[in-house]
Chain A
Amino acid sequence: MLNRQNIVSYLTISRKETIRFLRIWPQTILPSAITIALYYVIFGNLIGPRIGDMEGYSYIKFIVPGLTMMSVITNSYANVVASFFSAKFQRYIDELLISPTANSIILLGYITGGILRGCIVGVIVLLISVFFTDLSIDNLYITASIIFLTSVLFSLAGFLNGIFARKFDDVSIVPTFVLTPLTYLGGVFYSITMLPEFWQTVSLGNPILYMVNAFRYGMLGQSDINIFTAYLLIIGFIIALYWINIYLLRKGFGIRT
């Protein structure tokens, strides 16, 4: 699979995907930066002092990791689902399907765009937080690896959504009705230790909780869950989503008749 043709093809898809989201940066990069800055102002500076400390940290400091993860998740997901669905909708996915490019390269090329956008937006959101609180990173490797792995996972999830999507509505259903609620309930704004025991157990079924907490652990050294469980879960999801996508591409689901 890893021959010269496929390497060039991978670089071509990645370049095309990167140019795409950079070309439309007011739609892809800017909205997250503005939204998160507003979160920092309202929940961090205005409401935060009244809430007081959360798990021993000022409220703004507590929500920075969660809001960063929220941006990474939504951006990596949205990038791939929108781009892949557009390629299907305008039928220029055929350019790739008729070429000798391997299915795995198509998948890797598309998710590279999502990973890059997720990571770039994540870094921008972190940099904005400097204006509201002091940015501390307890463990750089954990912080960087979680941001990277989360963007990989949600890029793969976005691709899966793109394969199944048949109309534009299908592109926004999952982010609106699944991702946003799971993110808000995934410990972005609160620690699950504040919840009654039953709801703490229910929250453990939310995969986003593990990513938010693993990232918080990387930044603050504090987490509601075990960091190794978080890594196992994220990597497990990545492997499962990768093979589901490859299986569907091989079957030509939604792209070949």
Chain B
Amino acid sequence: MPALKIENLNKTYKGEVVALTDVSLSVEQGDFFALLGPNGAGKSTMIGIITSLVEKTSGAISIYGHDLFKQPALAKSMIGLVPQEFNFSLFETVEQIVVNQAGYYGVDYKTAKQRAEKYLKLLDLWDKRDTVSRNLSGGMKRRLMIARALLHEPQLLILDEPTAGVDIELRRSMWKFLRELNKQGLTIILTTHYLEEAEMLCRNVAIINHGKIIENTSVKDLLKKLDKEKFILDLDCTVNDVPKIEGYKIKMVDDHTLEVEISTTQNINHLFSLLGQQDIYVTSMRNKTNRLEELFVHIVNN
């Protein structure tokens, strides 16, 4: 039984704006799934329908086998949502917000208080439990929304751009935390604009554009479609001109740096040895852009 099954989902907003067209998708239990797409592609509409914040036009959704529209209470109790925008009362304390959210799912007050302590400590917010939410920093607010989504211990966690506007240190600690949750069996669906994040965390991916799923596969299989990659090579010497090496597209970035495009059929060691023959040695190299990002741009543009 999949954690999430979407069949022929359609959404047309008033004014005949088509947001989703015949979307079908399946996310297996325990998966770490990325839902990618440019702005306005339909990601948030899709998440909105799954979480009952947006009305569907047609289609079916089931969460762990429970039909979202026929057994809404059962299906909804399985889901935790971390939305893109801050959506908590600005006048309540951190602890009140998470304890209340647990109450809406039927978690009694005593248990909710115990879980609040557990999750606020895990997310490093316990010291702020009596702080009114409007006085928290942006990063703390993001962590508060994660804690709030976990308090009823859902089976499926949906994160809509959870690391948007978050500094790199906090982003890394969030990644670690989410990986840990996924290891414990929690199914996670993530939307993000940081493709590096999706590549690092997720096993499977769907790409949505103009309201349609245009790619749905494993991250590994998707990356195999990348037939060429661009690398930046840092050199140990100065070059005055682009080295002429047959079969490789090379550009000069500056007199110490080259950009080279290598197809999957080519061998990078071969390139290094050819450069070495011209007394040009590489001290370090890196991808010009994230691999998934390159592929994403390619897929979306085509």
Which residues of A approach B to under 8 Å, CB–CB?
3-6, 8-9, 11-13, 15-16, 19-20, 23, 86-87, 90-92, 94-102, 252, 256-257
Q: Report yes or no: B74 in contact with A256, Cβ–Cβ below 8 A.
A: no
Q: Report yes or no: B106 in contact with A8, Cβ–Cβ below 8 A.
A: yes
Q: Report yes or no: A90 in contact with B55, Cβ–Cβ below 8 A.
A: no
A90 surroundings in chain B (CB, below 8 A): 87-90
Q: Report yes or no: A256 in contact with B106, Cβ–Cβ below 8 A.
A: no
- Alpha-carbon distance between A4 and B74 when the two chains are bound, in angstroms: 13
A100 surroundings in chain B (CB, below 8 A): 72-74, 76-77, 104-106
Min CB gap B4→A, angstroms: 15
B48 surroundings in chain A (CB, below 8 A): 257
Is B101 located at the chain interface by the 8 A CB criterion?
yes
Min CB gap B94→A, angstroms: 14
Give which listed residue, A4, A6, A92, contacts B87 with CB less than 8 A: A92
B92 surroundings in chain A (CB, below 8 A): 16
Stretch at the interface among B78-86, B172-180, B246-254: B78-86
- Given contacts A12-B103, A96-B104, A257-B54, are A5 and B73 in contact (CB under 8 A)? yes
Give which listed residue, A87, A91, A99, contacts B104 with CB less than 8 A: A99
Those 3 A-B pairs whose CB atoms lie nearest each other, nearest first: A12-B103, A5-B106, A99-B104
What are 20 residue pairs bridging A and B, where the CB atoms are less than 8 Å apart in the complex?
A4-B106, A8-B108, A11-B103, A12-B109, A90-B89, A90-B90, A92-B88, A94-B81, A94-B83, A94-B87, A95-B148, A98-B51, A98-B53, A99-B77, A100-B106, A256-B53, A256-B54, A256-B55, A257-B13, A257-B55
A3 surroundings in chain B (CB, below 8 A): 106
B87 surroundings in chain A (CB, below 8 A): 90-92, 94-95
Chain B, residue nearest A24 (CB): B91
- Alpha-carbon distance between A20 and B96 when the two chains are bound, in angstroms: 11
- Alpha-carbon distance between A19 and B54 when the two chains are bound, in angstroms: 30
Interface size class of B (residues with CB under 8 A): 20 to 34
A4 surroundings in chain B (CB, below 8 A): 106
B54 surroundings in chain A (CB, below 8 A): 256-257
Give which listed residue, A13, A99, A257, contacts B105 with CB less than 8 A: A99
Q: Given contact pairs A13-B103, A15-B103, enumerate 10 new A-B contacts (beta carbons under 8 Å).
A: A4-B106, A8-B106, A16-B92, A16-B100, A90-B89, A90-B90, A92-B88, A99-B76, A100-B105, A256-B52
- Given contacts A92-B89, A98-B81, A257-B55, are A8 and B73 in contact (CB under 8 A)? no
Give which listed residue, A6, A87, A97, contacts B53 with CB less than 8 A: A97
- Alpha-carbon distance between A101 and B54 when the two chains are bound, in angstroms: 16
Q: Report yes or no: B105 in contact with A5, Cβ–Cβ below 8 A.
A: yes
Q: Report yes or no: B90 in contact with A95, Cβ–Cβ below 8 A.
A: no
Q: Report yes or no: B106 in contact with A9, Cβ–Cβ below 8 A.
A: yes
B7-22 at interface with A (beta carbon < 8 Å)? 13
B233-269 at interface with A (beta carbon < 8 Å)? none
- Alpha-carbon distance between A96 and B102 when the two chains are bound, in angstroms: 10
B76 surroundings in chain A (CB, below 8 A): 98-100
Give the most central of A8, A15, A87: most B CB within 10 Å: A8
A15 surroundings in chain B (CB, below 8 A): 103
- Alpha-carbon distance between A4 and B51 when the two chains are bound, in angstroms: 22
- Alpha-carbon distance between A94 and B48 when the two chains are bound, in angstroms: 10
Chain B, residue nearest A83 (CB): B89
Min CB gap A112→B, angstroms: 14
B248-292 at interface with A (beta carbon < 8 Å)? none
Min CB gap A3→B, angstroms: 8
A9 surroundings in chain B (CB, below 8 A): 103-106
Q: Report yes or no: B55 in contact with A8, Cβ–Cβ below 8 A.
A: no
Q: Report yes or no: B100 in contact with A97, Cβ–Cβ below 8 A.
A: no
- Alpha-carbon distance between A9 and B76 when the two chains are bound, in angstroms: 14
